[in-house]
Structure 1
């Protein structure tokens, strides 16, 4: 490809990098970056974005100047020169629109967490979470009265239930957990959280079935469930243990809705 040919991939690529970097910095400043990535990667991501902004701007300037120099050396044909200028203007405009569009969308549209629909699509409490970090030690110590389960989250209990062969040892354990509602088909619901290893793309939903004498809250509603673990009355269900809810309280979505 000669230097006079349009360099659309260069403009679009650099413009996209600039847009993503600006959006990342905005999310960090607004305190929403943790809705998209694991907090342990936040500093690294912000540093990369801060470097990417001036680097991509410099790249766009270099590409634009390269077009100007290349066309300036090709002759003095007025029509060719006019077409070259129009090409540079068009490519620069496209790159600018991509950058402005993506950035404006991030500024205007409020950041949202993953939803119950996403949880259903990704299969709540899949086998991939059976070896969740920290759960193996909890299983081996559960028979001891000294084990403190008060800080266990949805991920910990779900992994514990999946790894325990004799679930009778879990029956009666008191729990108070928060998550969002994924309605079931039988009047129950699944108390669900997303577990993030790296970013929202790899988020895995994990949950516990809840049986309550009250009505099922709306889909995606955040609730705190207080009750005790019990054997699932539905023997045909996949979940062997459910939460027999004594109280279901609606709450606002927490600032950090994910588990890690």
Structure 2
């Protein structure tokens, strides 16, 4: 790979970073929203460095082609290892087929959030509105179901949103949502078990309204908290698929 090619690769990498952050929200499939400024800055730096490298190499090539007497001669630019061309692979993937957000396949093997995190129910708003369903993130619902000993969700209409995920170990299906700390690589899953509605297509997104099925025994001994659905509405995939 010549220095000219190195500069072009940097420009393409920078352009790829900018294309998924400035002109679209594709970056949300891979990282949290807070990382956008850093991705934009990295993209700008790569484009500028690449452009400078290309310009300097072209000027150097023009100067080397002709000596002071007008005679042309060959020259050899510094070269990088051929493996450096592999840097073009992520560029090609983003420009040709941008990888989608993680979904049911990843959720089936990911750790359950409520088991591994230390959040408690009192982290969330303690009061519920008097009328209408309570809008909750799946994370809040799951954490409350496992930790709220006062069982404040019992008997309340609750609205959740997530994607459909099969239950390979029994009846019913899961409404799930992946939670990330910084990027898709550290994803953990929040999920509730639904048994009173037909299983929709895998990875399809839904808003469901219903009630928590309050367990008889200890909250912590429940493997999957159940949700009894009274209304389901299909929705488009959200721009930010993670919690």
TM over 0.5: yes
Contact 2:155 2:211 in 1 (8 A): yes
Q: 1:15 to 1:207 in 2, by over 3 A?
A: farther
1:238, distance to aligned residue in structure 2 (A) = 0.9
Find the partner of 2:90 among 102, 118, 123. 102
**Which deviates more from structure 2 when the two are superposed, residues 167-176 or residues 23-32?**
167-176
1:47, distance to aligned residue in structure 2 (A) = 1.3
Q: How many residues are matched? A: 230
Partner of 1:174: 157
TM (normalized to structure 2)? Answer: 0.73
1:228, distance to aligned residue in structure 2 (A) = 0.8
Partner of 1:222: 205
Q: 1:254 to 1:147 in 2, by over 3 A?
A: same
Partner of 1:244: 228
The one-character-per-residue Cα deviations of 1:94-116 (angstroms, maximum 9, x if unpaired) are: 64x43544322211103411011
1:182, distance to aligned residue in structure 2 (A) = 1.6
Structure 2, unpaired ranges of 5+: 61-73
Q: 1:64 to 1:120 in 2, by over 3 A?
A: farther
* In 1: Cα distance, 2:108 partner to 2:222 partner: 16
Partner of 1:55: 49
Q: 1:137 to 1:105 in 2, by over 3 A?
A: closer
Partner of 2:68: none
Find the partner of 2:173 among 176, 179, 189. 189
Partner of 1:257: 241
Matched position secondary structure for 1:197: coil
* In 1: Cα distance, 2:236 partner to 2:203 partner: 11
* In 1: Cα distance, 2:18 partner to 2:32 partner: 15
Q: In angstroms, what is the RMSD of aligned CA positions?
A: 4.0
Q: Would you tell me which structure has more helix in proportion to its own residues?
A: 1
Mapping of 1:65-80 within 5 angstroms? none
